[in-house]
Structure formats: structure tokens, C-alpha cells
Structure 1
């Protein structure tokens, strides 16, 4: 029937997310998405309009899941443990798969010089949400007096470190090295 989706949207979005995450936004075509999801290109265009709109829908799903899991990691009672768990989560997220999938937001941001503003805005919102969650964790009573810098600066350093870890993962493909680097930052930030 015209106007009725003939596919399971939740399943299709999960499959599209996997393609974008593995290949990056700029390297993914609508044909790639159709092949991976089992939904014809025409149906994808009818449902979402274009690749950018589909990506933004998928990215919202990714952001909701990623930020939720990241907040769970940060919710440990002890600050050092919370930071370590945050980095374990971030590193595991980028090193999953064969080959490893990397980071969807960083891969997308670096995938093209002419990143469209709606996509740039979506990535900025994700990074801002991560930074706000880390800053909130650094502002809790158990963190007072433990940081070597103020909570805002510490949160910015942590978020910037996660972007750098993505590059190091792409170059070295060494999870142990990433964990050691993250542990080093935790040691530098906490008294």
C-alpha cells in the first residue's frame, strides 16, 4: 500500500547504523544502505528523502544509545573508577568489529571537507552532551577537591582525549595502548 512502510523500521535503522558506522557517512551510498538493510533504494528515498536525512535519523538513535551507556559508565560511586569505566566503554565502542568500526561521529566529521551544517550540528550536539555528562560527574560532591583543574576544563580534556583515541585506534589498532593512554589522563586529572 502506498504510504505504508513495508519494513521493520527499527531493524532497518539498526542495519543502516552499522553501515554508516563501519564505512563512514561520506563513503556510504544509498545502494550500500539498500543492500545492507534489504530495503529497496526507492523505499528508502520515499521514507527518508535522502542519505543525509536517513543518516540524521540513524545518528539520533546512535546518540541516544551512546550517551545513555556513557552516563551509566560514569555513574560509578568512586570518581577514578567512573572515569576508567567511561574510557573502557569509549574504547570498546570504537574497537568493536573486524575491522574495528571506529567512532561514528569522528569518522563522519573527518570524512569530508564540506560537511553539511545539519550533520555538523548533530555531531556538535553529541559532543556537547558527552561533555555536559562528564562535567556533571566532575561536579558531584565526591569529585570536589579531587580534580587538578576545574570541572569544565577537565570535561573538555576528557572529550578531546576521546576524539584523539579514535585517531590512535585507527593508526595503531592496539586496545592496550588506548587504555594506557586513558589511564594516564585519569592520573593527570585526579589528585
Structure 2
């Protein structure tokens, strides 16, 4: 008869998420994970599988719990409002927790060994899926006349993602929320104007 778990799996996953958010995938050791979760390594293996499987679960939880502003943004009436909502919500998230600043996806993808390549590719895929949603929304904005016909939805989406990723790195490096908000304001100042109704 197997022993049943004596820890809260959901709480352990939340604790592991915070470790990965702070240290990235490669930087998070099993010692870090067992200390944060209060669960010994064999029990972590039993509950979640290996470190990669635990990271993937943590990443899914991060998207569900912390990036809910993305689908909300896509419903806003103008492309500029979409971009502004995403920028300011990302800034708020990247600076909300002093013990794990920045973005889990960016922190996890910046560096890695050959063994961590599957994790890096998973993070790239997750980013690409988000960028595609934004690109599709901007394509609709062009069709609706909210963006000029000369606007390029793929370039605008890539531009927004580049700013978001840069701000995540800056947040991790200790930049203040005020500085990041100034970056967002500058980004929005360069946003293409809607098609003229005249």
C-alpha cells in the first residue's frame, strides 16, 4: 500500500512557481524547490514528475493566474487600448512582487544549457502563441480602420512584444515602476494613428 501525500500539492506548485519566477528554470535547483515547497525531492518527483514537468505545470499556472490581462486586453475597442492595457498590466505584474520581479517566461528563457532546450522551446512557443493573438487583433484593427492600412500587424505585435520583454528584463534588473511606465508612455506616443475619417 502506497503512502499518501502529506502536503498540499497546490501550495507546493505555487511555491515552485515563485522559485522559477525568481531564478528561471536553470537557476532553480532541487534544493531551492524542496526548501520553498517544504517537500523532499522524492515526494516532489512523485507528485510532479521531474523538474521540467514541474516547470511546465508552474508555467501553465502562471499563464492562468497572472496573464489573464492578455485575453481581457484583446477585447478592448482599439488597438492602442489593447497595447496600453498589456503594457501597464505587464509593468504592474513585473514589479508587484519584490522577491520575484520580471516575467517568469523571460526569466526562464534567457539562458539555458543543452539539457534545458525543451524548456526554452516551450517558452518560445508560449510567447509565439501570445504574439499571434496580438497580431490577429491588430489585423482586425487594420480591417476595421482603427489602424491605418499601411500598418503591419506582425511588426506592431513584434514591437509590442520587444518592449514587453525589455521591460521584464529591466524590472528584473531593478528598474522602478515609474521608469517602466515612462517607457510605456513613449511606446504609446509612437503608436500609429487611426485611419482618418475625413
- Under TM normalisation by the shorter chain, which class is it? 0.7 to 0.9
Partner of 1:140: 140
- Aligned Cα RMSD in Å? 2.3
Q: Deviations over 1:47-92 (max 9, x none)?
A: 2332222112211222333443222133222332222111011111
Q: How does 1:1-191 map to 2 (within 5 A)?
A: 2=2, 4-114=4-114, 116-141=116-141, 144-147=145-148, 149-171=151-173, 173-191=175-193
Give the distance between the partners of 2:100 and 2:7, measured in 1 at CA. 28
Unaligned runs of 5+ in 1: none
TM-score (norm 2): 0.83
Query: What SS class does the counterpart of residue 68 from structure 2 fall into?
Result: helix
Give the distance between the partners of 2:6 and 2:73, measured in 1 at CA. 37
Query: What SS class does the counterpart of residue 26 from structure 1 fall into?
Result: helix
TM-score (norm 1): 0.86
| Cα distance, 1:170–1:15 mapped onto 2, change above 3 Å | closer
Query: What SS class does the counterpart of residue 189 from structure 1 fall into?
Result: coil
Give the distance between the partners of 2:68 and 2:3, measured in 1 at CA. 33
Give the distance between the partners of 1:66 and 1:128, measured in 2 at CA. 17
Give the distance between the partners of 2:178 and 2:28, measured in 1 at CA. 30
Give the distance between the partners of 2:41 and 2:25, measured in 1 at CA. 16
The structure with the largest alpha-carbon Rg is 2
Give the distance between the partners of 2:36 and 2:20, measured in 1 at CA. 10
Give the Å deviation of 1:17: 0.5
Unaligned runs of 5+ in 2: 194-198
Residues 109 and 115 in structure 1, CA contact (< 8 A), matched pair in contact too: no
